[in-house]
Amino acid sequence: MAYLAWSNDLAVGNTFIDADHQRLIDMVNRLHEVMQEGRGKEVLGKVLNNLVTYTREHFRREEDLMRRIGYADRAAHLHEHEKLLQQVDELQSKFDSGATTLSIQVLHFLRDWLINHIGKSDKALAEASRTVQA
Ligand SMILES: [Fe+2]
């Protein structure tokens, strides 16, 4: 069973955002998988790196949308993205400078962040973009 399952509760109703989120969830599940398998630092590092790179790309796409629609809550939403990226940067440098494993708490944190952020901030963004484009 997947660590984090996609469900309709997570759908925000915007095609590209939902597709990106499904891909992010796949990548969190992949990270969980390699952790469970006790894979080495090299594999773990690569999977973590892919997840971080994709997260940055995804945030950029959302941020472009916010700019295009003149989204009123843009600053707060950007702040959430920046804060997450800061935490992830810290995690990556810890990992690069010696840690050989990732704790399950890190994974829980990523999962909870994703669920909360999608459920509140991304749903609000998708809703606003529908209103503007309607
Ligand atoms: Fe977002």
Domain limits, the chain: 15-133
pLDDT of residue 25: 97
Quote the ligand 1 centre to 61 CA distance (angstroms). Answer: 9
Q: How far is CA 108 from CA 32, 90, 95, 103, 105, in A?
A: 10, 16, 17, 9, 5
Quote the ligand 1 centre to 119 CA distance (angstroms). Answer: 10
Quote the ligand 1 centre to 37 CA distance (angstroms). Answer: 30
Walk along the chain (134 residues) and give the pLDDT tens digit of each residue.
Answer: 799 999 999 999 999 999 999 999 999 999 999 999 999 899 999 999 999 999 999 999 999 999 999 999 999 999 999 999 999 999 999 888 988 888 899 999 999 999 999 999 999 999 999 988 65
Quote the ligand 1 centre to 126 CA distance (angstroms). Answer: 10
Quote the ligand 1 centre to 81 CA distance (angstroms). Answer: 6
pLDDT of residue 134: 57
Quote the ligand 1 centre to 59 CA distance (angstroms). Answer: 6
pLDDT of residue 123: 98
Could you tell me the CATH superfamily of domain 15-133?
Hemerythrin-like (1.20.120.50)
Quote the ligand 1 centre to 114 CA distance (angstroms). Answer: 9
